[in-house]
């Protein structure tokens, strides 16, 4: 897999991915995607075998993005990065992260638990006393979370 900046050659794939999850997102046309791309502070794709399988688009404060959600943050915070869309092809549904277990980071642990992550292992970092919980969220094609023990949530 290759992570890189998005470019106009990726737009057809990005639109297809967006359409696959439009029930969670808002619709996106080619003209709107071009406009968003120009305003984005961060627009990256992941490609596998030359095909875009994921994308993320984000905006900084000061963008002329007309999203009501973006505007809510713009009205309240002088500096921020707003992640507008993160879409992953249904064939690539493992989303992973680590959470500090020792010393504990309860804010991060609560955030990940709230978003359906579950521990799949843990490890101590080499030559430190730091212990991390390895977390995973698996989303089936029907968009239901399956915990590592097989329980469907």
- Indicate the length of the chain as a whole number: 153
Q: Verify that 62 and 84 share a domain, yes or no.
A: yes
Q: Verify that 98 and 37 share a domain, yes or no.
A: no
Q: Verify that 9 and 81 share a domain, yes or no.
A: yes
113 in a structural domain: yes
146 in a structural domain: no
User: Each residue's pLDDT tens digit in the chain (153 positions)?
Assistant: 899 999 999 999 999 999 998 888 889 999 999 999 999 999 999 999 989 999 999 999 999 999 999 999 999 999 999 999 989 887 777 778 889 999 999 999 998 898 888 999 999 988 888 999 999 887 655 554 444 444 443
Q: Verify that 128 and 72 share a domain, yes or no.
A: no
Contact 101, 133 (CB under 8 A): yes
pLDDT of residue 126: 81
* Structural domains in the chain (count): 2
pTM: 0.69
Contact 108, 72 (CB under 8 A): no
Tokens at 79, concatenated: 């500096």
**54: number of Cβ within 10 Å:** 19
Read off the CATH number of the domain in which 72 is found: 3.40.630.30
Asked if the bond preceding 4 is cis, omega within 30° of 0, the reply is: no
Beta-carbon contacts of residue 45 (< 8 Å; ≥ 6 apart): 3, 4, 5, 6, 10, 13, 14, 52, 54, 55
Contact 93, 139 (CB under 8 A): yes
| Domain-ending residue, one of 88, 113, 148 | 88
pLDDT of residue 39: 96
Contact 131, 103 (CB under 8 A): no
- Domain encompassing residue 120: 94-138
Contact 132, 123 (CB under 8 A): yes
Q: Taking the CA atoms of the chain, what radius of gyration do you get in angstroms?
A: 18
């Amino acid at each position: 897999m290759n992570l890189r900046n998005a470019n106009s050659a990726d737009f057809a794939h990005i639109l297809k991915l967006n359409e696959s999850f439009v029930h969670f997102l808002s619709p996106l046309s080619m003209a709107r995607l071009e406009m968003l791309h120009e305003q984005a502070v961060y627009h990256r794709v992941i490609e596998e075998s030359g095909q875009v399988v994921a994308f993320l688009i984000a905006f900084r404060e000061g963008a002329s993005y007309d999203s009501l959600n973006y505007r809510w943050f713009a009205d309240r915070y002088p500096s921020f990065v707003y992640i507008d869309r993160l879409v992953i092809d249904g064939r690539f549904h493992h989303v992973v992260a680590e959470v500090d277990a020792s010393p504990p980071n309860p804010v991060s642990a609560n955030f990940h638990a709230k978003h359906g992550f579950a521990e799949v292992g843990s490890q101590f970092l080499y030559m430190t006393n730091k212990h991390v919980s390895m977390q995973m969220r698996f989303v089936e094609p029907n968009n239901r979370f399956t915990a590592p023990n097989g329980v469907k949530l």
